[in-house]
Amino acid sequence: MFLNSFRVLVKIEKNVHARHNSDIAFIGLGQMGARMVNNLIKNGEKPKVYDILPSNTKAIQGAIPCSSADEAVEGSKIVITMLPNGSIVKSTILGEKGILKRLAKNSLLLDCSTTGPQVAQELFQSAQESNVRFLDAPVSGGVVGAQAGTLCFMLGGNLKDYQEVEPLLLHMGKKVIYCGKSGAGQITKLCNNLILGVTMIGTAEALNLGVKLGLDPSLLTNVVNISTGRSWSSDTYNPVPGVMENVPSAKNYEGGFSVELIAKDLGLAGDAALSINAPIPLAAMSHQLFRTLITYGLAKKDFSVIYKYLQGEKVE
């Protein structure tokens, strides 16, 4: 009996030791975050992980599950956040129970969420005041890229911090690009997603037109993809059901990059454009179309569901 009790105590001590000696913490285990963490694990890391939904935390195999954000960041040298929007990011980092208060001096905080440059710059300034380093590090590639480990990271902040963290990010992505000072990663991401939102609508419009005029959508897609109309929305993330496998349109538009998130990003792009008086008429119209989808109850569907909306078909 004594021997069994000793073994239990040793196991508990090892688990506690592991928790406090993991250098990496990851907060936010949604569609993107969970897949990113899995790629860290595949590449030999054992991060501490936390999500506001305990089921998401428990679902990660090979990581160290934590019951709070504080527990996750304790003793960590690198902390990564991947959260739905800027308000949640600010609350998680700067709020009354924010993790910035718990981060060790000179630790490195990376936010991979899409928040806009103003939030990123505010976080950078607050981190500096707490002797913590900060990088805005939004990603492109969506759920498909997160799953495959082919994301593109766009970093804003100090060059030396980028150089330090680049090898780790390459466990989750194919490219890590330094974009400039704090906020530059967010600016780059918003410009990319502006193009993404507009081209998805354009692709869906064209494919819907072709189908309604009698063309086979696969044939039309094949022609587009070897012609000047080709885009990521046509050759990697096609919005027409049955044209491609393993994309949201093949799964009733479940998963993927939600309508509410593309609408959020286009709204952030609009805010940024307004602050410098830059006209973005196509992005503004795209923003309103995706907001319309939200009013139809499609907020959680993948944004390629715009195809069904243009068809005039109901999506359950």
Note whether residue 276 is domain-resident: yes
Note whether residue 270 is domain-resident: yes
Report the distance separating Cα 266 and Cα 306, nearest Å: 15
Tell me: do 92 and 138 sit in the same domain.
Answer: yes
Tell me: do 19 and 46 sit in the same domain.
Answer: yes
Alpha helices in 139-236 (DSSP H): 142-148, 159-169, 184-212, 217-224, 232-235
Phi-psi region of 141 (alpha: psi -120 to 50; beta: other; left: phi over 0): left
Note whether residue 316 is domain-resident: no
pLDDT in tens, 88-107: 999 999 999 999 999 999 99
Tell me: do 142 and 291 sit in the same domain.
Answer: no
Report the distance separating Cα 235 and Cα 243, nearest Å: 10
Note whether residue 286 is domain-resident: yes
Query: For a pLDDT cut of 90, what percent of the chain falls above it?
Result: 90
Q: Report pLDDT for 284.
A: 98
Structural domain ending residue among the three candidates 163, 181, 199: 181
pTM of the model: 0.88
Tell me: do 37 and 132 sit in the same domain.
Answer: yes
Report the distance separating Cα 175 and Cα 139, nearest Å: 10
Structural domain ending residue among the three candidates 153, 181, 209: 181
Query: For a pLDDT cut of 70, what percent of the chain falls above it?
Result: 93
pLDDT in tens, 263-290: 999 999 999 999 999 999 999 999 999 9
Rounded to an integer, what is the distance from CA 242 to the centroid of its chain?
Answer: 26
Angle CA 279–280–286, to nearest 5: 155
Q: How many CA atoms lie within 13 A of 187 on its CB side?
A: 16
**Where do we find the tokens 């998680």?**
92
Structural domain ending residue among the three candidates 152, 181, 210: 181
Tell me: do 110 and 226 sit in the same domain.
Answer: no
Tell me: do 298 and 164 sit in the same domain.
Answer: no
pLDDT in tens, 50-83: 999 999 999 999 999 999 999 999 999 999 999 9
Q: Report pLDDT for 21.
A: 53
Note whether residue 67 is domain-resident: yes
Give residue 20's pLDDT band: very low, low, confident or very high (50, 70, 90): very low
Does an H or E element contain 129, and which? helix 117-129
Report the distance separating Cα 29 and Cα 73, nearest Å: 15
Tell me: do 195 and 115 sit in the same domain.
Answer: no
- Count of structural domains, the chain: 2
Tell me: do 213 and 293 sit in the same domain.
Answer: yes
Note whether residue 110 is domain-resident: yes
Note whether residue 221 is domain-resident: yes
Is the pLDDT at 30 greater than 80, yes or no? yes
Q: What is the average pLDDT score of the chain?
A: 93
Catalytic: 48? no
Catalytic pick among 90, 189, 264, 308: 189
CATH assignment at residue 192: 1.10.1040.10
Hey, which residues does 65 pair with through a beta bridge?
49
Tell me: do 174 and 193 sit in the same domain.
Answer: no
Tell me: do 168 and 255 sit in the same domain.
Answer: no
Tell me: do 159 and 195 sit in the same domain.
Answer: no
Give residue 155's pLDDT band: very low, low, confident or very high (50, 70, 90): very high
Q: Whole domain around residue 46: which residue ranges?
A: 2-181
Q: Per-residue pLDDT averaged across 169-186, rounded?
A: 98
Give residue 142's pLDDT band: very low, low, confident or very high (50, 70, 90): confident
Tell me: do 34 and 138 sit in the same domain.
Answer: yes
Is the pLDDT at 218 greater than 50, yes or no? yes
Report the distance separating Cα 231 and Cα 253, nearest Å: 19
Torsions phi, psi for 266 (to 5 deg): -65, -35
Report the distance separating Cα 73 and Cα 75, nearest Å: 6
Note whether residue 262 is domain-resident: yes
Q: Report pLDDT for 316.
A: 78
CATH assignment at residue 159: 3.40.50.720
Q: Per-residue pLDDT averaged across 135-152, rounded?
A: 94
pLDDT in tens, 32-51: 999 999 999 999 999 999 99
